[in-house]
Amino acid sequence: MKNKYIIPVLLLVMGTFFGIIGFASYIKGLIVGGIYFLVAVGEIAPRINMYNVITHRQKTGYQFMNNFLITLSVHRNISDTYEIIEKQFSGELAQWMQNLEGVMVHEKISQLANYFQIDIYPLFIDFLQVYEHEGGEVLQMAEYLLTSIRQNTAQLTSYDALYGRKMMEFILLWLMTFAILLTTRFSLGAMYQTMLTSLTFQILLGCLFLLFISALVILMRVMFRKHNFQGDKQYGKMGAKIKKSWFQRKKD
């Protein structure tokens, strides 16, 4: 939740500071900062926040499936296994589960798909159904599922690392660009002030500030895609599938 306020304020300060220096005008600097702040509040902070929530839920989901399968291989009963695992639920998940009080165990396990938002969760449910009807050796039957869980957890970590690395690169490269602006502003002095009287100069400077915020929004969109949290009104329906454009037919 902290990100919700930290990033917009940081962008407001940054935009205002470089805007004032670039345009040599407090009003224009505040306009740049204000635009950055609004974009951060409306687009950037919610995406980062949602990404944190999603990855946390997915990691919890993989852990849940893994623990469930291992415990099931010992207890050989789905309800008993669920009761054991349920005791380990904490934080947001425990709170979320309060909505499902009084619901049957199998239904609770199915409903958890809406919370975890994991692609392979339906496979897990299918596996439990097959196991209940036909029995068998859990660890042997779930070999593929357990491998997938391991692979997906590793993938989540590697994507986290990639995003962190690329975000750092983005910040450093743009800081260098703004550093060029800063040095030219102070080294050229009066000459820079004269250049500022030209409309073309101001428009191109505006394009620079616009490019930064557009690139940041695109970066956020690529990194942190919005997900469809079914049954979770807090996040609304954003659609995790490929979004169809105006040119494309609406029916599937």
Interaction site with other proteins (CB under 8 A): 119-120, 122-123, 126-127, 130, 134, 136, 141, 144-145, 147-148, 151, 155, 158-159, 162-163, 166, 169-170, 173-174, 176-177, 180-181, 184, 191-192, 194-195, 198, 200-201, 204-205, 207-208, 211-212, 214-215, 218-219, 222-223, 241-242, 244-249, 252
Cβ-based nearer residue to other proteins, 13 or 207: 207
| Minimum gap (Å) between residue 88 Cβ and other proteins | 26
If the CB atoms of residues 88 and 158 are measured against other proteins, the closer one turns out to be: 158
Give the nearest distance from C-beta 19 to other proteins in angstroms: 14
Q: 107 with 101: CB under 8 angstroms?
A: no
Which residue in 212, 214, 209, 206 sits closest to 171, CA to CA? 212
Largest CA distance in the chain: 84
Distance of closest approach, residue 174 Cβ to other proteins, in angstroms? 5
Helix (H, G, I), strand (E, B) or coil at 42: helix
Closer residue to other proteins (CB): 79 or 155: 155
Amino acid identity at 216: L
State the CB neighbour count (10 A cutoff) for residue 36. Answer: 26
Rounded distance between C-alpha atoms, residue 58 and residue 63, angstroms? 9
- Nearer Cβ to other proteins (93/128): 128
The angle, 0 to 180 degrees and rounded to 10, between the axes of the packed helices 199-223 and 3-23 is: 160
The CB-of-183 to other proteins minimum distance in angstroms stands at 11
Q: How near is the Cβ of 158 to other proteins at its closest, in Å?
A: 7
Rounded to an integer, what distance in angstroms lies between the CA atom of residue 234 and that of residue 252? Answer: 27
